[in-house]
Amino acid sequence: MPPSRADRPPRRVGEFDLIERLRRLIPAAGAGVRTGIGDDAAVVSLPRGALVTCDVQVEGVHFRRGTSAPGDIGWRALAVNVSDIASMGGAPRYALVSVLLPPGVPLRDVEAMYRGIGQAARAHGVIVVGGNISRTSGPLALDVTVLGEAGRVLTRGGARPGDGVWVTGTLGNAAAGLFLAHRPRVRVRGARALLRAYRRPSPRVRAGRALAARSAVTAAIDISDGTARDLAHVLDASGVGAVVHLERVPVAPAVVAAAQAAHLDPYVWALGGGEDYELLFTARPEFETSARAVARVAGVPVTRIGEIVPRRAGRWIVGPAGRRTPLRPAGWDHLVTRSP
Amino acid sequence: MPPSRADRPPRRVGEFDLIERLRRLIPAAGAGVRTGIGDDAAVVSLPRGALVTCDVQVEGVHFRRGTSAPGDIGWRALAVNVSDIASMGGAPRYALVSVLLPPGVPLRDVEAMYRGIGQAARAHGVIVVGGNISRTSGPLALDVTVLGEAGRVLTRGGARPGDGVWVTGTLGNAAAGLFLAHRPRVRVRGARALLRAYRRPSPRVRAGRALAARSAVTAAIDISDGTARDLAHVLDASGVGAVVHLERVPVAPAVVAAAQAAHLDPYVWALGGGEDYELLFTARPEFETSARAVARVAGVPVTRIGEIVPRRAGRWIVGPAGRRTPLRPAGWDHLVTRSP
């Protein structure tokens, strides 16, 4: 977090007072919660099947306090877990937030972080039902667990030869936003949306639920590691190969402009950048006819970028002029070295 | 963790290999798990209501690697969360394990830690369905989430005047074990059980379920902070007072002997020591007739140590010769200062 004016350090507020202050900043009660924060465990309702995931954000590994605002750190810690529920086709419902707090973090920054958690929670209908705060002598860390309601579940393992490979939204936005965050003098039309994509990613919850409701959709994953790497996870789990057509990969004009400023091929960001938190999914050919309806419900375009092939047919990107290059987990990085 | 012979550091094993190695050390599949480790989220079944809790153990705050064996650190991180499910009357079912790993921790210690997690999980019928491992530049930390199946739920808020105040087992064992762990030359009969109570606490899952099945039981909490402090949590949540009779507080002969070696009143440990992970509960008078049956099912004695009174009647300990002293959260520490 950036430095802010001196507040009393949280230690001097007292743990119970601190928890009470922070609790007001997050949605802590609502439908389905029988017992929330304040008892040994929360009691919640998930009758049709529970989706559960946790992911930790560690200062110095996943973020830096010098370059990320406290509210953005909080938002992201919740959002990345909501995205994991979205990619399984679930409805996020409840969260638990564990925070490791180093000495000297100003109270106002801790509150701003919880405000960010609360904003992301409200944006996705999530109630914070528990968690804990502990001192640490090391870096700030947020470990968030999100519970969701399962319907039909989309795993990574259902892709079959003949399926299309699809993505929601446009790719490379977060990587372009990261570039722009470090180069405030670079002017690009649409920069604000790219910065937001990086700082406050919007998990595709409505898209995930709409996709799970279509039996033609066979597998899904969220794009956190990078499109190529996350596609590889699906191919590994499904035991299949794939061909991706580079010219079909959706890239926003602002990303193209930012890539130009960075002297990079925009597909480096789109296929290798990661952290877009769009969904990558596979679907049988008949999905084509319902793609537009899904996009309307989800509020985001869906684009077919390739197709699943038998495992023995390999993993390929079809690039400019039909040239095939191997699909590597790092994405589309060979162009960087070939045309510097 | 104590030093061990040099192994390859986990970093050099590679994250995916490490996860695969560690996964073999824990129960990772079983009834109720539709999708476990390896997808974006786990899919589990908790149709009658989900109990969920998380607690973090941080090196330097909750344990020291120099004095706690890696297996004990792992056991405890899972057990303290199982205890929170037990105190609500639930059946622990699934766990997620987040580990922050500083550089230089030997692989064999990481494996020993996961073996400890696995042993505690097996002992309580828990399946590990997810989690994550992240690098950190700071202390080792384990954040564990446990999900349980709820039946009738015991909260902290149900105690009413006229109820008895009860505990399972005997108190002060963990504090005595901590003392003995630091004084290996002190010889006490029964020391092994005290050391185990400190190093590998046994959450009272069967007791919690048996208590929740009795409608006469009105509130419960697990004894983690200390008997007096945890009783205060119940009194706060229920809006009542209590009287505790010191001579009824169950203390094992080995704890008395260890306290003698430490020149302490054993009730200092029994009321203030904490980390016993016994249950403290309140029950209407008719519970007396079923106490023996509950003890048999639970495999642990239950003892009435006092009674709930109206809030205005206050919070008291009745000590030797009927003398009343205020019940303070720290427990029975005034004797230490009065008779040094």
Query: Tell me: the pLDDT tens digits for A97-112?
Result: 999 999 999 999 999 9
pLDDT at residue B310 greater than cutoff 90? yes
Report the C-alpha gap between B67 and B61 in whole angstroms: 13
- pLDDT on residue A8: 40
> For chain B, how many structural domains are there in total?
2
Contact A222 B40 (CB under 8 A): yes
* Structure tokens that stand for B34 in this block: 């539709």
Q: Count helices and strands (H / E) in chain B.
A: 12, 13
Contact B53 A62 (CB under 8 A): no
pLDDT at residue B4 greater than cutoff 50? no
3-state secondary structure of A49: coil
Report the first-to-last Cα separation within chain A, whole angstroms: 35
| A220 to chain B: closest CA residue | B40
Report the C-alpha gap between A308 and A327 in whole angstroms: 13
Task: Tell whether B177 and B115 lie within a shared domain.
Answer: no
- The stretch A60-85 carries a mean pLDDT of 94
CA dist list (Å): B143 to B73, B76, B88: 12, 11, 20
- Please report whether residue B5 resides in a domain: no
3-state secondary structure of B196: helix
- The stretch A189-200 carries a mean pLDDT of 96
- Please report whether residue A138 resides in a domain: yes
Task: Tell whether A194 and A281 lie within a shared domain.
Answer: yes
Q: How does strand B315-318 pair with strand B141-149? A: unpaired
Q: Which residues of chain A have a CB within 8 Å of the CB of B41? A: 51-53, 84-85, 87-88, 90, 146, 148
- The stretch A249-267 carries a mean pLDDT of 96
Angle between helices B173-182 and B253-261 (to 10 degrees): 40
Nearest residue, CB atoms, B84 vs list A40, A131, A237: A40
The amino acid sitting at A262 is: A
- Please report whether residue B155 resides in a domain: no
- pLDDT on residue B144: 97
ipTM of the modeled complex: 0.89
- pLDDT on residue A12: 54
Indicate which of A19, A40, A58, A127 best probes the interface with B, i.e. most B CBs within 10 Å of its own CB.
Answer: A40
pLDDT at residue B259 greater than cutoff 60? yes
Contact B45 A50 (CB under 8 A): yes
- pLDDT on residue A336: 39
Task: Tell whether B171 and B246 lie within a shared domain.
Answer: yes
- The stretch B146-168 carries a mean pLDDT of 97
Report the C-alpha gap between A157 and B98 in whole angstroms: 24
pLDDT at residue A5 greater than cutoff 60? no
Range of the domain at A300: 164-338
3-state secondary structure of B230: helix
Residue B149: strand pairing partners: B50, B91
Instruction: Give this prediction's pTM.
Output: 0.91
pLDDT tens, position by position, A196-223: 999 999 999 999 999 999 999 999 999 9
pLDDT at residue B280 greater than cutoff 50? yes
The amino acid sitting at A322 is: G
Angle between helices A205-212 and A70-87 (to 10 degrees): 0
User: The domain that contains B140 carries what CATH number?
Assistant: 3.30.1330.10
- pLDDT on residue A321: 86
- pLDDT on residue A18: 84
Task: Tell whether B168 and B125 lie within a shared domain.
Answer: no
Q: Are A301 and A159 in contact (CB under 8 A)?
A: no
Average pLDDT, whole number, for chain B? 91
- Of A129, A51, A125, the C-alpha closest to A84 is A51
- pLDDT on residue A35: 87
Looking at B91, B114, B149, the residue that finishes a domain is B149
pLDDT tens, position by position, A297-326: 999 999 999 999 999 999 999 998 889 999
User: The domain that contains A206 carries what CATH number?
Assistant: 3.90.650.10
CA of A34 vs chain B CAs: smallest distance (Å) = 9
Report the C-alpha gap between B288 and B280 in whole angstroms: 15
